[in-house]
Structure 1
């Protein structure tokens, strides 16, 4: 357990540093700009460097996308209907709870923890799982919420074609065609799987930018805890739903992922299997808070689950890591 804390504790130190800095207005006002730098520059470079520098792990098991695209969506849907069944405010906030209770911080937490615990070869496996995970969430939630809210507002007055051209296609275009993380993932896989290579004039600046990704991203997580805590203190979020979302994200999702991995373990091997479980055990992503603000009109519920999962994961992540090893 001490060894696991040695890997994970520095990440939480960076979060606490960001939280401390968030008491200054200048840093809170900089959150959108820092997040934009991480998303458009630092994170794509970090993923590219992690994948291209990783030793080969052999073939790509088809069980990986099968597990990611089955377990996580199923739990997200189940969490949604569970909160709907609770009634009251939990019913109204079921969508952000389901998002924050299943959308993990697989990039900022998952990739460095996987490399630290499983070795450098986990850079490739974690990068690929990250891509599959994020393609689903960063397109699925905006598409579903936009379609549902538009239909609720306009009824059947508009055609699907109009909805697709006016709202759904622009979301999909941003999530894939204009997503730098996606294209750097594609480039890194081309470099790894083919004789094609990039020159040092490209690789060296990319590596320098990538080195800023994890510390700056976790610093931003700490900054984001301030609006999250304000939402909790305001009483606008039901604590029962927050607890359920936190429990599903940190306990149920990694447990069900472990059960899903078992039948395929011989095909996956320890690195792929361990990566899937570690990434499932990460706390909620700050993107869940941003998406809920944008598509639900109020990000306080997602922010509350973000606070809960970030704090509790300091205990659950070392436990998951110890069980894995």
Structure 2
């Protein structure tokens, strides 16, 4: 129990403090928007840029790692969609968002700071690969299923173009590739620039976790609890367990990469799912509820995976 508290309590304590600050209205909605913007546009991008600029990307890239994580995510997605088809009278667009809720975790806002704190800079590259491939695979897949369900006439090239435009405006994706390109030049950052980026990067973990707590304030759980429960089981149990089996036993990754993949897979549903659901006007209420439910339960499940895999 002592190990569990030492590993997980600081992370989830920050989330709880953020929630308490929002619930008591110590921090207003306007202040939250400012903090959230700081994390998304400055703190996390600074960390990604400087870490990617210093990472031996091509030497460290491991397709088996990507296959283990993305394969586990797609299996969790298919599991949720398939079981939902048997259990619930909802359309394919709603099933798609439900499937994304079970496979698209909070790997950037929550997972990345946690992994860097746990394992140091070595975790940055594999964690970033997960962020990139989640966006490349799951957002187009879900968008295409929603379009098809709604009888939309958008072609696959049009869907991929819309997704590509969205990714090109994502500060986490931009900073990742900017850092990669800078690293390829072989140039060192000027000392004042590196110091500035490190100051911003060091603020990413506490601010991101605190802001995550704020996002949970006011999210209702008013309908579709059976559907939310299915997505939560997919996200917090099926996803990490399948990734574990693929990484450790099928593709035989080393203990460190297995730990990174499983801990990332154990993260609760990301806010990106709610954003996509809102943009498509599909499954919005239950997507919001899934984020809340998985984040609350993750205080136990993620803690367990963290303790299990920090002894790699």
TM-score (norm 2): 0.85
**1:96: which partner in 2?**
97
Q: 1:243-281: CA deviations, max 9, x gaps?
A: 22111111111110011012322xx32222211111011
> 2:164 aligns to what?
172
Please tell me whether the aligned partners of residues 103 and 239 of structure 2 are also in contact (alpha carbons under 8 angstroms). yes
Q: What corresponds to 1:86 in structure 2?
A: 87
Residue in 1 that maps onto 2:239: 253
Residue 49 of structure 1 and its aligned partner are, at CA, apart by: 3.4
Q: Deviations over 1:74-99 (max 9, x none)?
A: 32132123222212469884333222
8 Å CA contact retained: 2:96, 2:145: no
Shift of 1:141: 3.2
How far does the alpha carbon of each residue in 1:7-51 deviate from its partner, in whole angstroms, 9 at most, with x for none? 322222222222122232962345555433322222211222344
Matched, 1:215 2:206: yes
Give the stretch that moved more between structures: 28-37 or 247-256: 28-37
SS at match of 2:267: coil
CA shift, 1:106, in A, is 0.9
Q: Which residue number in structure 2 is paired with residue 124 of structure 1? A: 125
Give the deviation of 1:105 after TM superposition: 0.8
- The DSSP-based 3-state class of the residue aligned with 2:177 is helix
Structure-2 residue corresponding to 1:115: 116
Cα distance per residue 1:162-204 (max 9 Å; x no partner)? x855x652332121x3232223212333455662333234322
CA distance in 1, matches of 2:58, 2:166: 31
Contact 2:8–2:306 (CA under 8 A) maintained in structure 1: no
Give 1:200's aligned residue. Answer: 191
**Structure 1 residue 243 and structure 2 residue 246: aligned?**
no
TM-score by length of 1: 0.82
- Relative to structure 1, is the Cα distance of residues 222 and 252 closer, same or farther in structure 2, using a 3 angstrom cutoff? same
Which of 250, 268, 282 is equivalent to 1:263?
Answer: 250
**Unpaired runs of at least 5, structure 2:** none
Q: RMSD across aligned C-alpha pairs, in angstroms?
A: 3.0
Per-residue deviation, residues 98-119 of structure 1 (Å, max 9, x unmatched): 2222111112322233233334
Query: Comparing 253-262 with 45-54, which one deviates more in the overlay?
Result: 45-54
Q: State the partner residue of 2:270.
A: 285
Aligned residues: 308
Aligned CA distance change for structure 1 residues 114 and 168 (closer, same or farther; 3 Å): closer
SS in 2 for 1:121: helix
Distance 2:88 2:33 in 1: 34
Question: Structure 2 matches for 1:135-150, cutoff 5 A?
Answer: 135-145=136-146, 147-148=147-148
Higher deviation after alignment, 22-31 or 37-46: 22-31
Residue pair 1:68, 1:133 contacting (<8 A) in 2 also: no
In 2 relative to 1, CA 263–168 (structure 1 residues): closer, same or farther, beyond 3 Å?
closer
Question: Does the CA-based 8 Å contact 1:48-1:185 persist in structure 2?
Answer: yes
Counterpart-to-counterpart distance in 1, 2:144 and 2:170: 16
Are the equivalent residues in 2 in contact too, given 1:104–1:285 (CA < 8 A)? Answer: yes
CA contact (8 A) 2:93 2:282 kept: no
Partner Cα distance (2:242, 2:172) in 1: 27
Distance 1:140 1:215 in 2: 32
**Deviation sequence 1:132-177 (CA, Å, 0-9, x none):** 22333344434543x3255x1x5xxx573xx855x652332121x3
